[in-house]
Structure 1
Amino acid sequence: MGRLILLLLFVLAAVLVWKAFGPSSWNKKVQQTQQPQRPAIKGPDDDEEFLWNLEKQRFKERRAREREAERQEEERRRRSQGSQGSQKPKAPEDKDNKADET
């Protein structure tokens, strides 16, 4: 009976040693030594400086479009005022009469 218990303990010890140091654990050790852990790669949407630069660029583009639109509007006003200046100016009474008619 003692020999049977001793044999079971020996088999149990062998199984535990095999599980701990067997071939299944070899792959883990090899992978860890060959491939050092790299820092997590951050995408551009996680980079605060990149996002800030994008926002600045969009703001500058928007501001440039607004300035261009203002410049075109001012140019259009100058042209319309220039064309009205060449025409015969209307008398102030004419404007009042038209406003009363409508």
Structure 2
Amino acid sequence: MGRLLLLVLVVLTAALLWRAFGPGSAERYGSLRGGQRGQVEQKPMIKGPDDDEEFLWNIEKNRFKERRAREEAERKRQEEEERRRRRGEG
């Protein structure tokens, strides 16, 4: 009985190892080594605007430009007010 159990365990182990590391395992489970068989790692697919780095960068850049323009307009307004006050005092 012990020999039969040992034989079943050996066969089961061989079958599991074949399934895990045998032919076709790379397609089933993904390759652990990048670049195998001439495969080139691809960029992840963009699924929406929140995944697109260029889109997000452009939004941030435009917000920065708008904020800079508002700050510049505020600075000019303050300078103009300062000039008016000086003219009124002088």
TM-score (norm 1): 0.44
User: What TM-score do you get using the length of structure 2 for normalisation?
Assistant: 0.49
Query: Relative contact order (C-alpha < 8 Å, sep 6+): which is higher?
Result: 2
Greater Rg by CA: 1
